[in-house]
Chains A and B, each alone.
Chain A
Amino acid sequence: MEKVLTRNIGLAQKPTDLKAYEANGGYQGLRKAMAGMSPKDCQDVISDSNLRGRGGAGFPTGMKWSFVPSDDKCTPGHKYLVCNADEMEPGTFKDRLLMECDPHQLIEGMILAAYTIGADISYIFIRGEYLVAIQRLRDAVDECYAAGLLGENILGSGYKLDMYVHPSAGRYICGEETALINALEGKRANPRAKPPFPQVSGLWGRPTIVNNVETLCNIPHIIDRGADWFNGLGVGEDAGTKLFGVSGRVKNPGCWELPMGTPIREIIEEHAGGMQDGYQLKGFLPGGGSTDFLTADHLDLAMDYNVIGAAGSRMGTGTMIILDDRTCPVGMVLNLIRFFAHESCGFCTPCRDGLPWSRQVLQDIEEGRGEPEDLETLAYQVKYIGAIGNTHCALAPGAMEPLQSALKYFYDDFKQHISSGRCPYH
């Protein structure tokens, strides 16, 4: 398969500086756009490419951008492009790779995205712990200013864009795009009510697009090589390639760029090398900590948004977490719910008070104090905390996804904890 997003990324290779990036075809997409494509031309190519957001929700990128009002339809002022580089979803480790190893690819994607939506200011909102990526991005941004790729009159086109690398001060909720905008404004990162959507009223009340790192890294290639080429990369329903990852007790945990629609079995058995000796696959979360469990019965499904959706889970971030037969499913869900309870921003009651309640019930079961009616309590929590619309943002419903599917697939494990008064895995 042709490598696209990771073509400059090799284990032995140094991260690309501007010279190396350009030598390997970098900034071709930008040069092409600046020389003869209008923002509308770029918008059409991205819409036709069927690129969907890689941040977790899979929203079509072209459609999202099309909601930004044109200059004649909004008051004069700034428009913003924000790259969401917060990557804190448990089990997710793909954006780090893209930023550490090929920072210019992201920057080129951002310049093109900003040009398309008419933004004049852009931010990379990056989690504070990603110190290597922060430094490499800052160096790359400096190189771009010096080379006329950022700032006034980019490549002589008359287009102007500023870019800032903005390290976060922490908290998982900052990855939610409206919470991220509040954090950028120097406030507590509580999510905002929608509507108004950020595309219309985002940072400082101005039109703002927030896109994931991997989404933006696709843009230069699509502009350079066209929508048809991109559509042809997938082997299933969806377009393009994707970084898929596997962690847990497999022989070769890691992250690989593969066509959209690659079968799960190929990812786990070929690329991740299958399970470690002495371990069997019991289940897996297909796309990070807030996606529903799937099981060995689902291994032949394609990693496409709708296919995984139809099986009752979500593609999420595309980084899988494997549950093996010697790890306790109740313990694993407890770990996840403890995380989400801790990371609740505290704004709404079902999440702030409901998640700690779930955690307590799970902890009781795991530690041998469970009662039969606890299972009803958990089902009740899933129903009310998990319902979209009962909470102010998607954190709490996301937290319920691994719990509800664990109750479906590993119900006997829960029951056994309760009947024997201990965790059978210890």
Chain B
Amino acid sequence: MSKKEMIQSDIGSVLSAQEIAEIDAELAHIPYKSGAAIDALKIVQAKRGWVSDECLQGIAKYLEMSAEELEGVATFYNLIYRRPVGEKVILFCDSVSCWIGGCDDIKSKISNVLGVDYGETTADSSYTLLPVPCLGACDRAPVMMVGDDLVTHLDDKKITELFGSAANGSAK
């Protein structure tokens, strides 16, 4: 599909009825349509995992803004994903208290076991590894989120428990 055709395609064929209903609920307390831009991106991402070009065009059209403007918004925020991510996103805290607590070594261990660096997704699409600012759990450093769960007091043993180890062949 060319870009122009995409813009002209029917919003309803891109966004689900439920997504549109959820966006409408946000619009009810927002004075301008484009004011729901971030909410709409999050709503669409919630079920699909990420925001495809097609969805971006659909949202932009629904909110009566240009796709370029919405892209500027989408790419500003680190929790909006414009590329496919794995089933679970690992948000790995690399801020100061976790750094003092040795998070660099833990990060190397994860990369080693899963075979991915920051920004990459495992071959089986289980995990995407991303750095994240201080997760507000510095008293339990080092920490990370795996999907919806906060995992604290990270050490090699915990990483092995969670992801297996490269050596025993259970790495993803």
Listed in ascending order, the chain A residues whose CB lies under 8 Å from chain B are: 87-93, 95-96, 121, 127-132, 162, 164, 167-172, 183, 185-189, 204, 245-249, 253-255, 285, 289, 319, 321-324, 327, 331-332, 335-336, 339, 343, 345
Contact = CB atoms under 8 A, between A and B. Distances in A.
Contact of A93 (B35, B36, B137): B137
A172 B138 contact: no
Given A169-B77, A188-B76, A248-B100, A339 B95 contact: yes
Contacts of A248: 97, 100
Given A129-B132, A336-B96, A170 B138 contact: no
Contacts of B73: 186-188
Given A253-B139, A332-B99, A188 B72 contact: yes
Nearest to B75: A188
Contact of B137 (A96, A121, A331): A96
Interface string B62-74: 0000000000110
B34 interface: yes
Interface residues of B, number: 39
A169 B138 contact: no
Given A131-B148, A162-B29, A321-B138, A169 B38 contact: yes
B66 to A, nearest CB: 14
Contact of A339 (B31, B77, B133, B150): B133
Contacts of B135: 129
Given A169-B41, A188-B73, A332-B100, A164 B95 contact: no
Interface string B25-47: 00001111011111101100000
B145 interface: yes
Q: Kindly name the residue among A169, A185, A188, A343 whose own CB sees the greatest number of chain B CB atoms within 10 A.
A: A169
Contact of B29 (A164, A188, A327, A345): A164
Interface of B: 29-32, 34-39, 41-42, 72-73, 76-80, 91, 94-97, 99-100, 132-141, 145, 148, 150
B64 to A, nearest CB: 12
A331 B133 CA distance: 17
Contacts of B38: 169, 183, 186
A85 to B, nearest CB: 10
Contacts of B96: 90-91, 285, 289, 321, 332, 335-336, 339
Q: List 7 A-B pairs, minimum CB-CB distance, nearest first.
A: A169-B77, A170-B79, A186-B37, A247-B138, A170-B78, A253-B139, A247-B97
Contacts of B139: 93, 245-247, 253-255
A82 to B, nearest CB: 14
Contacts of A343: 133
Given A127-B136, A204-B31, A254-B139, 7 more contacts: A129-B91, A169-B38, A169-B77, A189-B76, A253-B139, A321-B100, A327-B100
A162 B77 CA distance: 27
A12 B45 CA distance: 36
Contacts of B137: 93, 96
A131 B138 CA distance: 17
Contacts of B99: 331-332, 335
B77 A90 contact: no
Contacts of B134: 88-93, 289
Given A131-B148, A187-B73, A254-B139, A90 B80 contact: no
A146 B138 CA distance: 36
Nearest to A253: B139
A336 B94 CA distance: 10
Given A129-B145, A186-B39, A187-B37, A93 B79 contact: no
A172 B37 contact: no
A212 to B, nearest CB: 13
Nearest to A248: B100
Contacts of A87: 136
Contacts of A128: 42, 79
Nearest to A87: B136
A204 to B, nearest CB: 5
A151 B42 CA distance: 26
A204 B35 CA distance: 9
A170 B135 CA distance: 11
Q: Kindly name the residue among B42, B132, B136, B139 whose own CB sees the greatest number of chain A CB atoms within 10 A.
A: B136
Nearest to A183: B38
A294 to B, nearest CB: 15
Contacts of A189: 76-77
Contacts of A249: 100
A338 to B, nearest CB: 8
